[in-house]
Amino acid sequence: MTASALTRPGERDRLIIKFAEIDWTFCLALCLIAGAGALIMFSAADLSWTPWAAPHLIRFAIFFALMIVLAMCPLTLWFQVAYPVYIVALVLLVGVEFFGDVSKGAQRWLQIGPLRFQPSEIMKVGVVLALARFYHGMSADSARASWWLLIPAALIAMPTLLVAHQPDLGTSLLILFTGIAIMILAGLSWKFIVAGIGAVAVAAPVMYFFVLHEYQRTRVDVLFNPAADPSGAGYHILQSKIALGAGGLMGKGFGLGSQSQLNFLPEKHTDFIFAALAEEFGFAGCMSILFLYGAVIFMALRIASISHSHFGRLATAGVTATFALYVLINGAMVMGLAPVVGVPMPLLSYGGTVMLTVMIGFGLVQSVRVHRYSEVTAGRGALL
């Protein structure tokens, strides 16, 4: 069978046009971040491609190709799968409660045949799609203040509580803050925002004493006084701060970081890879990576601003909010400004599940860019 029989000339032309519409500067920034992560992993493994650097690059190449494929998908397809993806993710989260694998004291994983994954990662995309679809069919007045807002509140609360119960505080906070960001961007009244901030301030002490697990309260305590338990709960933060300070302005040099090379720095290839970067490349290296993250966030928000579809704008903003929260929480954690909650630095840290989620999200962002002039027609009613 010839190529022309498989793809008509007009269809090939449309695919070429779509391919050209992809934001390749955005793609380059992603590649540079992932490449920097591989470089640090190579150094942390005593200048070896295994066990982290090579798998990291292979995964990124596969997921990058997936992102390009997803960029070609029309917005109507994303719109149609929004609720199904959310429902499947929610069912899987409920399944974790009954059938999930327990690892390191937490029940977060599902094993289906040879596939082992975290449903909470699927929900990060699912909640963005569901909220974007819901608000697409809602008037500005209803989005500002109405009883309809109980529905998006429930869409956010259900997965947040299920993930927090696993327990996985970091991921539950990501889902919660992403959902709130979408509600605010959709036009939520400032009265609700101020009231919500006040409610959190009042509820924080209650949550600390009666909701958080003992180890989570310990992490909060250590945040304010890590020296109180330098070889126990405070070890991660103290070693991270030592690595950050040791790097100085320009760093010790590639492969010369004592904290990572001598294994003083815990999780040097995952949660604390930013500290390993700081030790070897210093303040200049950290600022370079943060500049790339800032560029990705800026370009994604620009894509949201030029979309003709309300669904596209909110979905892109939601994906960007999740990505920005990853960077903010991990950066604060590594610098001792936030409790250690196990949130990796996206694309820089080792880990396939998080990278897959991030790249699927960016596939949606690129789809909004490619189909920015497309209109998505909402069905009857806010939920359709």
The token pair that represents 284 in the structure block: 């200049």
The label of the residue with tokens 């269809």 reads: 11
R_g of the chain, CA atoms, integer Å: 22
**Tell me, what DSSP letter sits at residue 228?**
G
CA 185/CA 195 separation, integer angstroms: 17
The pLDDT, as a whole number, for residue 14 is 78
- Helical H segments across 186-309, by residue range: 190-210, 214-224, 235-247, 258-261, 273-306
Give the pLDDT means over successive 10-residue stretches in the chain (384 positions): 47 77 96 96 92 96 97 94 96 89 75 82 95 91 89 95 88 94 93 89 85 82 80 86 91 89 87 94 96 97 94 96 96 91 92 92 96 73 43
Strand partners, 77: none
The pLDDT, as a whole number, for residue 384 is 44
CA 83/CA 293 separation, integer angstroms: 30
Strands of the sheet containing 115-117, edge to edge, are: 101-103, 106-112, 115-117
The pLDDT, as a whole number, for residue 141 is 87
The token pair that represents 115 in the structure block: 């596939």
Strand partners, 107: 102
The pLDDT, as a whole number, for residue 105 is 65
- Cβ-based neighbour number of residue 68 at 10 Å: 15
The pLDDT, as a whole number, for residue 9 is 52
The token pair that represents 339 in the structure block: 């409790």
Three-class DSSP labels, 117-149: ECHHHHHHHHHHHHHHHHHHCCCHHHHHCCHHH
The token pair that represents 248 in the structure block: 């100085």
Residue 268 near residue 46 (C-beta atoms within 8 A): no
3-state secondary structure (DSSP) of residue 38: helix
Strand partners, 108: none
The token pair that represents 174 in the structure block: 């990501």
The pLDDT, as a whole number, for residue 13 is 64
Name the strand (E) or helix (H) holding 70.
Answer: helix 53-71
- For the chain, the structural domain boundaries read 23-72+213-305+314-366, 78-198
Structure-derived torsion over alpha carbons of residues 284, 288, 290, 296, reported in degrees to the nearest 10? 170
The pLDDT, as a whole number, for residue 112 is 79
The pLDDT, as a whole number, for residue 380 is 36
Q: Which residues, other chains included, contact 140 with Cβ-Cβ below 8 Å and sequence gap of 6+?
A: 187
The pLDDT, as a whole number, for residue 23 is 95
